[in-house]
Amino acid sequence: MAIMVQKYGGSSVATPAHIKRVAGHIARSREQYDRLVVVVSAMGDTTDDLLDLARQISGRPSPRELDMLISTGEQQSSALLVMALQEIGCPAISLTGAQSGISSSNVHTRAEILAIDPSRVVKELDEGKVVVVAGFQGVNGNGDITTLGRGGSDISAVALAVALGAPVCEIYTDVEGVFTSDPRIVKNARRLDEISYEEMLELASLGAKVLHPRAVEFAQKFNVTLHVRSSFTWAEGTLVKGVDELENKRVVSGVACDLNTAKAVIMGVPDRPGVAQKVFAALAEANINIDMIIQSMMRDGRNDIAFTVERSALPEAIEIMERVARELGAEGVAHDAGVAKVSIVGAGMVSHPGTAATMFGALADAGINIEMISTSEIKISCLIQEADAQKAMQAIHERFHLDA
Amino acid sequence: MAIMVQKYGGSSVATPAHIKRVAGHIARSREQYDRLVVVVSAMGDTTDDLLDLARQISGRPSPRELDMLISTGEQQSSALLVMALQEIGCPAISLTGAQSGISSSNVHTRAEILAIDPSRVVKELDEGKVVVVAGFQGVNGNGDITTLGRGGSDISAVALAVALGAPVCEIYTDVEGVFTSDPRIVKNARRLDEISYEEMLELASLGAKVLHPRAVEFAQKFNVTLHVRSSFTWAEGTLVKGVDELENKRVVSGVACDLNTAKAVIMGVPDRPGVAQKVFAALAEANINIDMIIQSMMRDGRNDIAFTVERSALPEAIEIMERVARELGAEGVAHDAGVAKVSIVGAGMVSHPGTAATMFGALADAGINIEMISTSEIKISCLIQEADAQKAMQAIHERFHLDA
């Protein structure tokens, strides 16, 4: 009784022709798995089209009604996929999130899954059907439809794998897996056979858009292996699993780049206790997330405090900083939206002390200036000028022999 | 505590601009009705577009999955209408068929409403909200989504009116009400202020496409007055109600024309008992509905039997008749698809014996030959050549002074 949960993203079911191809693959998968649950996203741009309809009606539509609206995209694709399966003689049934027993919190448009009662899913599996679940959705305590936010269908799939005891969850998308870097930017970027949850989380938060961090965290928590693979080539992809289960811990697994970042500096802050706290408390109050932080060496009893924020948050951050600068008697505020954060990620980094030096050397040899640095156990990030980003990624990728 | 149920058809909510206009009207209606339930169809051609998607995937999609698919159209329009209501400050909430407590039979794509548990609807009304219900859908005993077939949203609206004790149900559409005849065909066709359920049923079955017969029957059974009116002019329309409640029973209320009809004749049938039974039993076995029937006077011990069927059923009917003709030793089979059924309908007809003669006279004076006649208490129908249909309708309309 082998069980598998498969998830197909929007690009995998974008048209009726795509849906038929996916149905063919599911039917072939049944030779290997006699219990098969499939989670499906909305077709192509359906969700965006629905959001656009909503925007034509209201500038700030109610989250409950947005969920009522956009959850229909996955309901449609799940029904169409079942029709395609039945057409080729594969018994199947579609279920909404509610019918699948996916109970969620009450926070519309970004609800969390609280529990799954898989009894209906199990009943249909027992009857020999492939169960196709509308992804991205659940039902709250009022019986109202909720959606799970960005990456929601990945989360639906992982949660169903946990509830049904499936050890692996296949995530079908339009890329062949997780790569050592973005193949559109870095020559010779290579698909990884495996990667740890932790590395994947760092890569996802650094702008590698393959898997949503919440889905990876969920898989990590319940130790479900994710298999990220392509619905266009059907080739073996990348396994995302526990670091202890990796066949080899690479020092560096990948190079990522995040362009959605901007640098802000508050200059000449008097060096008094509580000053940094004052700056960052004001930003936190406005719900602005801070990423890297550097406080410069003191000169003349004053410090420079530099940090990075998402680019869209920069105008509001500057406004707040200018107010705080006046209050603190600082010298002024500066900013630069033309920066990029280049990072290396690797589970083996922690036991290889020379890794940071190697990275900095690669950048120096390429003539690239490093403006800020931050590190964690499995990650080193450097802020550089945006214009240097591609050159930097290529240089680092080659220096660590990631194409090998 | 005045309560009203309003239903808006697909053309009334075809675009975001339409939806906003409807929301404005609903908000104005609240000045008159403090408890307001709105049933909404899918936007414009949404249902057809979804059916087209299904057809691209399967020649014969499963009815359960079709319901899963096409029910999303009403879910979308109900959410969008609520957004439009909230945008203008009118508290509102959308509910699916299941959330509205609409339990249906298990027959997918043409389910019947079995019961309504209006507790959620009542709770939301108690909280001062306009409740917008996705029309055309219910939920069966398995928790699966069903749809109610053609005219389903009208039926949802009438059933909710019954369950909530609303005496009137407003049906908003793209015409101004029920007319004495089709205004596109008959000059001076006039909107009726009121009409009985029985007359409406005869008119609907005769090709006046304003209300679906099942919705009218439902309203008649539970004595809910229907108010058919336009969502483009918002003018007062036509009340459909019990014959005893009509202010005046007109001899003739309207003239209708049905072009979806064809004549078939089995000629020279030996005049023996059981012959007619044999002919019509064979047709009934093939699920072919017979409308008008005439058996001619006997000549030489043989009869002609003529009848009408829907045009699409004619080829199969002829095949069956040719077989039966051989078995009975009849002389042959003839048919004519170029016919039309012109009918007058009126609740007062039964007490006015000259009505049929007046109709026949109008046709004779216009030089139109009558091929078959059928009558009921409130209806007289004449089969004529299709080419004469418009002239016939105009002549009858004028003879009965329906433009007055």
The secondary structure of B106-141 as a DSSP string is S-TTS--EEEE-THHHHHHHHTTPEEEEETTEEE-T
Taking contacts as CB-CB distances below 8 angstroms, the residues of chain B near A96 are: 68, 145
For A334, counting Cβ atoms within 10 Å of its Cβ (0-12 exposed, 13-18 middle, 19+ buried), the class is middle
Residue A276: pLDDT band with limits 50, 70, 90: confident
Q: Does B80 touch chain A (CB under 8 A)?
A: yes
Among A107-111, A383-387, B101-105, B346-350, which is the least confidently predicted range?
A: B346-350
Q: Does A38 touch chain B (CB under 8 A)?
A: no
What is the spatial distance between Cα A142 and Cα A106, in angstroms, rounded to a whole number? 8
Residue B302: pLDDT band with limits 50, 70, 90: confident
What is the pLDDT, as a whole number, of residue B1?
A: 67
Taking contacts as CB-CB distances below 8 angstroms, the residues of chain B near A56 are: 16
Q: Does B94 touch chain A (CB under 8 A)?
A: yes
What sign has the CA pseudo-torsion B255, B258, B259, B263? Answer: negative
- Closest CA in chain A for residue B81: A57
What is the pLDDT, as a whole number, of residue A193?
A: 94
What is the spatial distance between Cα A161 and Cα A320, in angstroms, rounded to a whole number? 45
Q: Does A155 touch chain B (CB under 8 A)?
A: no
Residue in B50, B64, B145 closest to A76 by CB: B50
- Closest CA in chain B for residue A88: B58
**Which residues numbered 328-357 in B keep a CB inside 8 Å of some CB on A?**
none
Are residues B69 and A57, on separate chains, in Cβ contact within 8 Å? no
Contact A70, A50 (CB under 8 A): yes
Structure tokens, B216: 């009218």
- Closest CA in chain B for residue A87: B58
Q: Model confidence over A317-360: pLDDT tens digits?
A: 999 999 999 999 999 999 999 999 999 999 888 788 889 999 99
In angstroms, the separation between the Cα of residue A16 and the nearest Cα of chain B is: 6
What sign has the CA pseudo-torsion A65, A68, A70, A71? Answer: positive
* Position A104 pLDDT exceeds 90: yes
Residue in A57, A64, A80 closest to B80 by CB: A57
Are residues A78 and B84, on separate chains, in Cβ contact within 8 Å? no
Indicate if ipTM > 0.90: no
Q: Does B391 touch chain A (CB under 8 A)?
A: no
Q: Model confidence over A172-225: pLDDT tens digits?
A: 998 899 999 988 889 899 999 999 999 999 887 776 677 888 899 999 999 999
What is the spatial distance between Cα B137 and Cα B157, in angstroms, rounded to a whole number? 11
Residue B167: pLDDT band with limits 50, 70, 90: very high
- Closest CA in chain A for residue B93: A65
Are residues B78 and A68, on separate chains, in Cβ contact within 8 Å? yes
What is the pLDDT, as a whole number, of residue A207?
A: 64
Q: Does B93 touch chain A (CB under 8 A)?
A: yes
Among A134-138, A246-250, A392-396, B358-362, which is the least confidently predicted range?
A: A246-250
Contact A76, B50 (CB under 8 A): yes
In angstroms, the separation between the Cα of residue A20 and the nearest Cα of chain B is: 7
What is the spatial distance between Cα A45 and Cα A58, in angstroms, rounded to a whole number? 20
Among A81-90, A303-312, B134-143, B153-162, which is the least confidently predicted range?
A: A303-312
- Amino acid present at A125: L
Taking contacts as CB-CB distances below 8 angstroms, the residues of chain B near A16 are: 53, 56-57
Q: H or E segment at A5?
A: strand A3-8
Are residues B65 and A57, on separate chains, in Cβ contact within 8 Å? no
* Position B381 pLDDT exceeds 70: yes
Residue in B53, B61, B75 closest to A68 by CB: B75
* Higher per-residue pLDDT: A15 or B302: A15
Query: Half-sphere exposure of B59 toward its Cβ, with a 13 Å CA cutoff?
Result: 1
In angstroms, the separation between the Cα of residue A372 and the nearest Cα of chain B is: 46
Q: Model confidence over A29-67: pLDDT tens digits?
A: 999 999 999 999 999 999 999 999 999 999 999 999 999
Q: Model confidence over B178-212: pLDDT tens digits?
A: 999 988 889 899 999 999 999 999 887 776 677 88
Taking contacts as CB-CB distances below 8 angstroms, the residues of chain A near B96 are: 68, 145
* Position B133 pLDDT exceeds 80: yes
* Position A272 pLDDT exceeds 90: no
Contact A330, A322 (CB under 8 A): no
Are residues B86 and A65, on separate chains, in Cβ contact within 8 Å? yes
Alpha helices by DSSP H, A208-274: 213-222
Q: Model confidence over A82-96: pLDDT tens digits?
A: 999 999 999 999 999
In angstroms, the separation between the Cα of residue B72 and the nearest Cα of chain A is: 5
* Position A1 pLDDT exceeds 70: no
For B21, counting Cβ atoms within 10 Å of its Cβ (0-12 exposed, 13-18 middle, 19+ buried), the class is middle
For A10, counting Cβ atoms within 10 Å of its Cβ (0-12 exposed, 13-18 middle, 19+ buried), the class is buried
Q: Does A373 touch chain B (CB under 8 A)?
A: no
Domains defined for chain B, CATH in brackets: 3-174 (3.40.1160.10)
What is the pLDDT, as a whole number, of residue A208?
A: 65
Q: Which whole number is the average pLDDT over A263-273?
A: 89
B51, B58, B93: best to mutate for the A interface, most A CBs within 10 A: B58
Residue B376: pLDDT band with limits 50, 70, 90: confident
Structure tokens, A292: 């890297």
B52, B66, B69, B77: best to mutate for the A interface, most A CBs within 10 A: B69
Alpha helices by DSSP H, A167-230: 197-205, 213-222
* Position A273 pLDDT exceeds 70: yes
Q: To the nearest whole number, what is the mean pLDDT of chain B? A: 93
Among B260, B294, B263, B402, CA closest to B344: B402
In angstroms, the separation between the Cα of residue B53 and the nearest Cα of chain A is: 7
Alpha helices by DSSP H, B58-118: 63-87
Taking contacts as CB-CB distances below 8 angstroms, the residues of chain A near B19 are: 57
pTM above 0.90, yes or no: no
Among A159-168, B63-72, B251-260, which is the least confidently predicted range?
A: B251-260
**What string of H, E and C letters represents the secondary structure of A7-67?**
EECHHHHCCHHHHHHHHHHHHHHCCCCCEEEEEECCCCCHHHHHHHHHHHHCCCCCHHHHH
Residue in A50, A58, A86 closest to B58 by CB: A86
Structure tokens, B294: 């005439």
What is the pLDDT, as a whole number, of residue A354?
A: 87
Are residues A86 and B68, on separate chains, in Cβ contact within 8 Å? no
- Amino acid present at A370: I
- Amino acid present at B82: V
Are residues A80 and B64, on separate chains, in Cβ contact within 8 Å? no
Q: Does B390 touch chain A (CB under 8 A)?
A: no
In angstroms, the separation between the Cα of residue A79 and the nearest Cα of chain B is: 5
In angstroms, the separation between the Cα of residue A100 and the nearest Cα of chain B is: 11
